Structure 1
Amino acid sequence: MRLGEVTKHPKGFRIAGIYQVARFEVKTAKNGKAYGDCVVSDPSFEIPAKYWDIPAESAALFQQNSILGLEATLDYFKESPQLTIDRVYVPSPQEIDQSLQSLGLMAPRDIGGMYRQLEDIIAGVRHNRLRQMLVWIFSTNTSFAKQFKRHPGAVRNHHAYIGGLLQHTLEVAEAALDHCARNDRINKDLLLAAALVHDIGKVREIAVDALGLPVGFTKEGKLLRHISLGMELVGQACREAQVEEEVDVILKHCILSHHGQAEWGSPVAPMLLEAELLHYLDNLSAKTEQFVREQERLEPGDFTKSYVLRREVYRTSFAGD
């Protein structure tokens, strides 16, 4: 059950599920016994919880894991909802992945399937050295490929979940394919290569926990940011594949300019069609995800103030056909 639905129920309602533990601390009650004080959450809501007379082995589970299976009873303290935890357990890896997906903490699309689609797009790049450059990054460089598959696309905001970077990259590349099919004046190989590598620096920029969830920025991420880190990796890959200097420079320009303007993080504006298209396709994927995330928190017919989008967002009650 999503935690956002819990408050619709009365005191004594029982819930069971796998949730994220936002924080946990062992405290001492007035009777001298230990209890666990924590906050459990999912994308829809976060709620404080207490585990009275907590056994030492259960406290250890909370201290060692950020995702746990919980059985709890709904209570209210000063009219605010609170959970009383009755049982806690460590889910299996399969249960965790299923729960992460249901909680919105993992890409809604299958990660393995998405990576195969990415490899198919690479195979369709006709320029031999550009294709070799992409193969080096996403296949030959196995340690990078392993990280990229499950890496989040952001610390917060759009695609900030396991597999989010892959999903965002594939969304941009698929949109590029669609746009190229409608206009044969676009350099398809260049746009596809730029779409696939534009955010690869985020693997080194974003720090993750043991599950792969974003927890902040790495030191080099704070100091250098993903655009420069991505250009460094692309430069290495271009040397490995002996990519022509002109193509190398243009591809780096696409990465450098993909935020569109200086105030958004790009020191130069796009100076060629493919760079301009990359900027808009990247923004389209990000904005789509941000609107979806905001609307998921709303009931049909409601508004919310979005800090990320800097406007109010409305969820329509119109379902369509």
Structure 2
Amino acid sequence: MEKRQFVSDLHNKDEVESFFLVKYIAVMAGRDGRSYLNLVLADSSGDLEARRWSHAEESFKRVQKGSYVKVKGKINLYQSRFQLIVKDLVPIPADSVKPEDYLRQSQSDPERMFEELLTIADQMGDCYLRDLLQMVLMDAEIKRRLTLWPAGKSIHHAFTGGLLEHILSCARLAMLITPNYQEVNRDYVVAGAVLHDICKIYELSDGPVVEYTDEGRLVGHLVNGVQLLDRFISKMPHFPSQSKMHLEHILVSHHGSLEHGSTKPPQTREAQLVHFIDLIDSQMNSFQTAIENDRGNSDWTGYIKHLDRMLYKGKLRSISQPLELEGGDDEGGTPKVKAEGSPTHSMADQLKNFKV
């Protein structure tokens, strides 16, 4: 079955007849006490909230999370987000679709990202940390999962290859930021950037619908990260115990605070930097995703629950030339860019001979 309509192509009031992956499905009670079907549908271009106001129980019995469906309905704009009002919902066999049409993927080539990550690891000065990263990254199963896994279920980098994209971005930031702080050991920050989330390959499942594994719920990627260090460092004779301890501290503290899951707050400069680097990259991706998903005509998004705020969608522009007031220097004039052929020297030059 060929998919023709994708989420990213939809507009307000569009009639929809297409195939989707069911990422979430539940029967909810409306204000009037009547049941309705609450869904999140998806394809390779994004997610789409959906509601079915009738036949909720019947549809719920026929459709499961992770299944594929043919949907008929109409797009409605609700709180700056598109919502599909479902008229008909029919399950279809999984072997009748192309899986790549329903999986969001990183826009960057995974092999190139992985090679760049190896190059960054090769630049480390500490021979033990460099060898450790190379051993971890070249492990066949870790490499396979790293190129496929998302970094999260929904908040940031929640797509195929998202974990590798996030880790590489953090490693790049580590290389850029650390020269500004001479007292910080760059190698530990880079190692922390590469290793901090790598055990999400055990915390999250693969497949079209990402879920937390039992190991992810009961143990989590911070503890798994320490276990991974133990596994690889045990193969490296004479690995310094102090180096291992500081790496472990970076991993268990990178969420920043106890209420966010860290067993310890960052207590070294390197651990604090890794925490901030992780926060920068995850938050920037979360911002970008929220802005892209907002379909309202305003310069502002609707309220974003997980960020607890609205976001400004406009792009800030740089002004390369000084502004003049329309109609002279009178108060209330309108700024305008200097016309072609007018002086382009800086404001500092213009004010050089100014006297009070």
TM-score surpassing 0.5?
yes
Greater displacement, 80-89 / 298-307? 80-89
CA contact 1:4–1:45 (8 Å) conserved in 2 = no
Return the alpha-carbon distance in structure 1 between the equivalents of residues 84 and 137 of structure 2. Answer: 48
Return the alpha-carbon distance in structure 2 between the equivalents of residues 186 and 194 of structure 1. Answer: 13
Tell me what 1:119 maps to: 118
CA contact 2:22–2:64 (8 Å) conserved in 1 = no
Greater displacement, 280-289 / 186-195? 186-195
Tell me what 2:287 maps to: 291
1:2 CA displacement: 4.2
Tell me what 2:136 maps to: 137
Greater displacement, 248-257 / 304-313? 304-313
Tell me what 1:107 maps to: 106
Structure 1: gaps spanning 5 or more residues: 25-36, 50-59
SS of structure 1 residue aligned to 2:303: strand
Return the alpha-carbon distance in structure 2 between the equivalents of residues 250 and 271 of structure 1. Answer: 10
CA contact 1:159–1:289 (8 Å) conserved in 2 = yes
Return the alpha-carbon distance in structure 2 between the equivalents of residues 189 and 293 of structure 1. Answer: 31
More helix by proportion, 1 or 2? 1
The alignment status of 1:218 with 2:213, answered yes or no, reads: yes
CA contact 2:41–2:50 (8 Å) conserved in 1 = yes
SS of structure 2 residue aligned to 1:82: strand
TM-score by length of 2: 0.68
Structure 2: gaps spanning 5 or more residues: 26-36, 53-61, 77-82, 320-356
Return the alpha-carbon distance in structure 1 between the equivalents of residues 111 and 243 of structure 2. Answer: 30
Tell me what 1:153 maps to: 151
Tell me what 1:8 maps to: 12
Match of 2:197, as an amino acid? D
Deviations 1:74-128 (A, max 9, x none): 5589x973365899786899x6446533xxxx22222222111111111112222
Tell me what 2:227 maps to: 232
1:295 CA displacement: 0.9
Match of 2:302, as an amino acid? T
Count of residue pairs brought into register by the alignment: 287
Match of 1:134, as an amino acid? L
TM-score by length of 1: 0.75
CA contact 1:161–1:214 (8 Å) conserved in 2 = no
CA contact 2:148–2:160 (8 Å) conserved in 1 = yes
Tell me what 1:162 maps to: 160
1:270–1:39 Cα change, 3 Å: closer
1:5–1:84 Cα change, 3 Å: farther
- Given candidates 180, 197, 205, the residue that maps to 1:199 is 197
SS of structure 2 residue aligned to 1:312: coil
The alignment status of 1:46 with 2:49, answered yes or no, reads: yes
Q: CA RMSD in A?
A: 3.6
1:76–1:3 Cα change, 3 Å: closer
- Which is greater in Rg? 2
The alignment status of 1:81 with 2:85, answered yes or no, reads: yes
Deviations 1:58-82 (A, max 9, x none): xx9x8897467x6x765589x9733
CA contact 2:149–2:206 (8 Å) conserved in 1 = no
Return the alpha-carbon distance in structure 2 between the equivalents of residues 292 and 200 of structure 1. Answer: 23
